[in-house]
Amino acid sequence: MPRPKGLLFDKDGTLIDFDRTWGPAARLVMSELAAGDEAAFDRLVQVSLFDPIADRFERTSPLVAGSPAGFGGLWADALGRADGPDFHAEIDRLFLHHGFASLAPIGNPAEVLGALAGMGFRLGIATNDSEVSARRQSEVLGLADMIEFVAGYDTGHGAKPEPGMVLAFVGSLGCAPDEVMMIGDSTHDLHAARAAGAIAVAVLSGPAPHDELAPHADHVIGTIADLPELVRRFA
């Protein structure tokens, strides 16, 4: 197998702990949107498949691997508000604010990505979070100088599982799709990789179990810490 040139990372569940980061943030965002209306808060919790006591999402929650463009309609209905770009932007602003207080990396992403950059790989992030959130979290985690490509659901390439983000990364590198690895913890990531013709690598650091991910992946590893060993197998 040829050696990949680019490594494209999902963010939530791959670089950062989804529940530890977004569980506390989601509770605060829902609370602000409900504005003291307990019934509205309860409706948000229910449609989000979220436990506000444990600050955890059910694995099938629409917020897991989703974006405001996807779950915004559910939240708008729960609040009796109009869905649309303005409402999505409000959700993004609230998550951007509250997400930093509980930002929790998985292991040491800066060390792992630094090692991969030192091996000559070009690195990017493709997330269904907003682009500005991805960039700011990358800065906090010490990744900004290593990452040359960042795409969010609002960047203009579409959202995963569509292949647009992966193809945009391929285009930015000027390489073939099969010279790029897409690394992620959900079937959205793997489907995006496969649709683009890239190498699909599943990590088991998110909510999805091995049996759900393996049929859609070319490789399955525990966390991104196992990635340097995996890429050394390529010629």
pLDDT 10s digits, 176-224:
999 999 999 999 999 999 999 999 999 999 999 999 999 999 999 999 9
Residue span of the structural domain in which 114 resides: 6-17+105-231
Burial group, residue 47, by CB count within 10 angstroms (0-12, 13-18, 19+): middle
pLDDT, tens digit, for every residue of 135-162?
A: 999 999 999 999 999 999 999 999 999 9
Mean pLDDT for all residues in the chain: 95
> What's the mean pLDDT in 8-35?
96
Asked whether residue 125 falls in the same domain as residue 215, the answer is: yes
Q: Are 207 and 34 in contact (CB under 8 A)?
A: no
Domain boundary pick from 99, 119, 154: 99
Asked whether residue 52 falls in the same domain as residue 70, the answer is: yes
Domain boundary pick from 66, 99, 132: 99
What's the predicted TM-score (pTM) here?
0.90
Q: Where are the beta strands (DSSP E) in the chain?
A: 6-9, 50-51, 56-57, 122-126, 147-151, 180-184, 199-203, 219-221
Asked whether residue 63 falls in the same domain as residue 128, the answer is: no
Q: What residues are labeled active site?
A: 10
Asked whether residue 109 falls in the same domain as residue 224, the answer is: yes
